[in-house]
Structure 1
Amino acid sequence: MDSTVITIPVSEPPVVGPPTKEKKKFKLPKIFNTIICFIKDKIRNKQDMRKLIHSIKVGVSLVLVSFLYLLNPLYERVGDNAMWAIMTVVVVFEFFAGATVRKGLNRGMGTILGGSLGCLAAALAQKVGGIGDSIIVSISVFIFGVAATYFRMIPSIKKKYDYGAMIFLLTFNLVVVSGIRAEKVLELARERLLTIGMGFAVCVFISLLVFPTWASDELHDSIASNFLHLATSIEGCLDEYFKAVEEKENQPTSSISNCKSVLNSKSQDESLANFANWEPWHGKFGLYHPWDKYLKIGDLLRELSAAILSLKDCLRSPKQPSSTMRQSIRQPCEAVGVSLAWTLKELGENIKEMKRVQQADMIAPKLKSMSLELSSVISSSKLEQLENVDGLAIASFIFMLMEMVEKVEKLVKEVEEFGDLAGFKDQ
């Protein structure tokens, strides 16, 4: 029996060499990846970017004033007083440039005045000596403490110089009390004032020259955009009021969140106007820009916002006139609403672009004629023939429209006067 020989190939043994080293990829520590992801998640709009830039500016300022400690030549000149420069950066650097300048100047004035008077009181106490020095220090601390605290409660001073009065009170007490036991109180006050000035200079330089955030721009854009918000709210309210019942149930209610934000903007406007007063000349704003006019216009916008909210309450009232009755006054009311919305948009655009209201002479008579037309609608025989509930509901709605027309008339006059004071350009 023949046998078949099958040849099995013998593979060569693998060459054993030194183990190959895999290249390790560099990986950031987990904490850094977490921070980077957090920053990417937060930076989604312009406001978040501004916050990040402000944070970086504060960090850079702290590094610069820390050199007073880190560099031996600087430390030999200022010594432990360098801590006052770091403290100044921490308490003075604000988000808006005007707020930083305001706080820095207040701190400087309060430090100089408080330090000077404190040195005088301490020197006088040292001259008297004995138990008389304690009496003089106690009397001076009491008098200036009472005076500074009282002035801080005056509204005009509290609005602009509250921080300066607080720093004055703090500096005066520190200097006059420590001056009794310090031999070189004048030299100590001078060195501290020097380091505080260094910290303030760093804050002002970084705040004004490195991606500055101007409170004036924020206030200007906010007031201009509020006109558009209210115009949109008026259009939405009228559109909702005159919809058919079945359409009204199937469509969402118009949002008036912007209208409520305008109503609650008083404190923000006042703060921005206060900061803007401290800002230097920049861009389109001069040194004597009428910032108070923004506050007056803002007050009128809030009054108009309250009227719009009252108009909204008419829509929410359970006692509503029938759709047929509402359609009978639809044409004049919608004409008024369109005119009001157009006027508000025009005023807001003029403020934003800093242009004069060219058609002010035409807008005012038009608004008055609309008010008279609404009055004629209320006194027409159509409303007299309605039932008491329907007539009262429609009359309330029209009265609120008339109130809004009066508010817009005042806004037109105020914006026209604002353009003259601010030197707005002709279109």
Structure 2
Amino acid sequence: MDGGKKGSVEIDIGPPPPVKNTGGGSSTSSNTSPSQWIWDVLEFAMEDTNRVTFSLKVGFACLLVSLLILIRHPYEFFGANIVWALLTVAIMFEGFNRALGSLFAGIFAVVSMQIAASSGSILAPYIIAFSIFLVGAITSFMKLWPSLVPYEYGFRVILLTYCLIVANGYNRVGDAMRTSVDRLYSVAIGGVVTVLVNVLLFPIWAGEQLHKELIEHFDLVADSLQECVKKYLNDDGTERPEFLKTVMDDFHDEPAYRKCRAILKSSSALDSLASSAKWEPPHGRFRHFFYPWAEYVSVGSVLRHCAYEVMAMHGCLHSEIQAPYSLRCAFRADILDTATRAAELLRSLSEDIYNMKRRPHPTLLNHVHNSTERLQRSIDLHSYLLTSSQLSLDREEEDGDNDDDDGHLIEVVAINVGAFKETTVTKQHRRRLRSWPSVEAAELEDGAIGLMQRRAFERSTAALSLATFTSLLVEFVARLDHLVEAVDKLGRLAKFKHEIVSS
């Protein structure tokens, strides 16, 4: 910062640190080495074993269908049309709606060819052309319908398969109707093989994945809440990184934060799993028909609204304006108790969904509400600490502009609140207890307000950041009531086992 020019600020951003190359060669070659590539593949496979299972099942289904081509007698019966079975296998493993699209396209093609054949050679081309136009227009319009947007690819498959079957089989030498029927049989064979492989060999149910992911989201929100609160209360400012570094939105020392951020992006994934689970037959612990998979999406939506508050609390944790460490310690017990009770309730709801049981939570809810009321009462009783600009001004006028004024502030907070004991801090620590903006930044402005009074106002503004953090925590607790209601509705519609808990 250039002190010679009044009212101007120069920011010197140094060059980035050099990248160390520990491998002795270029980083590109080390990252693309065969051993590193193999290790990355193994890590990717071990993260989710269902990926390996799915790949092996696709390969096995393709192998079974290819036997109809490699063996002479089936190939002589179906001919080259058996290739449609392979295409059906590849399409069906992409989604059940695509499989239905292939089946419907085959049926429509057979019906159209039958109508064209019975109309004579003159009208047949016009009927085929009109049917292609009609199918293309209807499928393109239906996939734009809001409620049918999730099945967009299914309509695309209908259009593609129908055009290939009809247009490619019309001018072939021989019976066009027979060609269409053979292709329909091939599509049916591919569909049957795919269903049998999916159901009988290590089935991967979308409903179970949805159930598992929702449980993980509950635990991640609870972990992220506790991590954020503990880090906020334990941060004395001595190791806080520069603001320009924290706006990168990537905190390597906070894994729960990154996972909580991933929850906010999981809406489309839950919707996709729920739409796929609706087509699955009763299985496992989900034995009754018309299982309320949509309620899982509703619970996930309410949980994401709770995660929004946690993300906002993380924003307070890494903001430029910070409350003094002494002031945070004054309300430490109440804030920590509220966060712990809220995380306990989240884990209890997660356990209920995992065990598929309905348990009332009046005791846990009362604990959470009581701890929140204690926190609000404590802030109300000591609200003068959050707006004590005049108190800080008097203290500074009495002792002067030195590093001991923050030590006196610690004594004032300790005497009035009685929440912590006076500790000995270094001058560097005391300087860090000063909040944004810094004294140097204030000196750059010309105004009628004196420097001492301006610093007092700045300290009061920084103290209000604690009120922001606590208000976000209180709002998080308020949203837990809606989350409990959503989980109870899910348990009622899904017919979870009702369990009475003695309070």
Q: TM-score range by the shorter chain?
A: 0.7 to 0.9
| Partners of 1:275 and 1:356 in 2: CA distance | 25
| Partners of 2:490 and 2:198 in 1: CA distance | 29
Alpha-carbon displacement from aligned partner over 1:77-126 (angstroms, at most 9, x marks no partner): 111111111111122224xxxx4x443233213322x21442255236x4
The amino acid across from 2:100 in the alignment is L
- Asked if 1:168 is matched to 2:161, the reply is no
When normalised by structure 2's length, the TM-score is: 0.69
How far the C-alpha of 1:321 sits from its partner, in A, is 1.5
Alpha-carbon displacement from aligned partner over 1:210-242 (angstroms, at most 9, x marks no partner): 111122221111110111111111111111111
The amino acid across from 2:65 in the alignment is V
Query: After the TM superposition, which segments of 4 or more aligned residues of structure 1 sit over 6 Å from their partners?
Result: none
Q: Among the aligned pairs, what percent are the same residue? A: 28
- Asked if 1:362 is matched to 2:363, the reply is yes
- Compute the RMSD of aligned alpha carbons: 2.8
How far the C-alpha of 1:175 sits from its partner, in A, is 4.7
Among 221, 227, 231, the residue aligned to 1:236 = 227
The amino acid across from 2:473 in the alignment is L
Q: For the Cα contact (< 8 Å) 1:227–1:344, is it kept in 2? A: yes
| Partners of 1:303 and 1:400 in 2: CA distance | 12
Partner of 1:317: 319
- Asked if 1:202 is matched to 2:193, the reply is yes
Partner of 1:28: none
| Residues 317-356 of structure 1 mapped to structure 2, 5 A cutoff | 317-356=319-358
Distance 1:315 1:293, change over 3 A: same
Greater Cα shift, 62-71 or 332-341: 62-71
The amino acid across from 1:404 in the alignment is F
Q: For the Cα contact (< 8 Å) 2:110–2:181, is it kept in 1? A: no
- Look up the SS of the partner of 2:357 in the other structure: coil
Alpha-carbon displacement from aligned partner over 1:347-384 (angstroms, at most 9, x marks no partner): 1111112121232x334444444444444344334346
The amino acid across from 1:84 in the alignment is W
Q: For the Cα contact (< 8 Å) 1:43–1:49, is it kept in 2? A: no
Distance 1:136 1:330, change over 3 A: same
| Partners of 2:219 and 2:496 in 1: CA distance | 20
Alpha-carbon displacement from aligned partner over 1:295-321 (angstroms, at most 9, x marks no partner): 111112221112111101111122212
| Partners of 2:476 and 2:367 in 1: CA distance | 14
Partner of 2:475: 403
Distance 1:369 1:393, change over 3 A: same
The amino acid across from 2:216 in the alignment is S
Alpha-carbon displacement from aligned partner over 1:109-146 (angstroms, at most 9, x marks no partner): 3322x21442255236x4271xx554444443333321
| Partners of 2:167 and 2:254 in 1: CA distance | 64
| Partners of 2:481 and 2:132 in 1: CA distance | 55
- Asked if 1:64 is matched to 2:67, the reply is no
| Partners of 1:226 and 1:74 in 2: CA distance | 50
How far the C-alpha of 1:56 sits from its partner, in A, is 2.2
Distance 1:196 1:231, change over 3 A: same
Partner of 2:272: 271
Partner of 1:54: 54
Gapped regions of structure 1 (runs ≥ 5)? 1-33
The amino acid across from 1:127 in the alignment is G
Which of these two proteins has the greater Rg computed from alpha carbons?
A: 1
The aligned length equals 381
Greater Cα shift, 183-192 or 296-305: 183-192
Q: For the Cα contact (< 8 Å) 1:367–1:409, is it kept in 2? A: no
Q: For the Cα contact (< 8 Å) 2:97–2:154, is it kept in 1? A: no
Q: For the Cα contact (< 8 Å) 2:341–2:364, is it kept in 1? A: no
Q: For the Cα contact (< 8 Å) 1:122–1:177, is it kept in 2? A: no
How far the C-alpha of 1:259 sits from its partner, in A, is 0.9
Partner of 1:153: 144
| Partners of 1:175 and 1:221 in 2: CA distance | 41
| Partners of 1:42 and 1:369 in 2: CA distance | 49
Distance 1:285 1:373, change over 3 A: same
| Partners of 1:392 and 1:89 in 2: CA distance | 61
- Asked if 1:421 is matched to 2:412, the reply is no
- Asked if 1:123 is matched to 2:123, the reply is no
When normalised by structure 1's length, the TM-score is: 0.80
Greater Cα shift, 387-396 or 362-371: 362-371
| Partners of 1:137 and 1:110 in 2: CA distance | 14
- Look up the SS of the partner of 1:280 in the other structure: coil
The amino acid across from 1:169 in the alignment is L
Gapped regions of structure 2 (runs ≥ 5)? 1-33, 242-251, 390-459
| Partners of 2:232 and 2:465 in 1: CA distance | 12
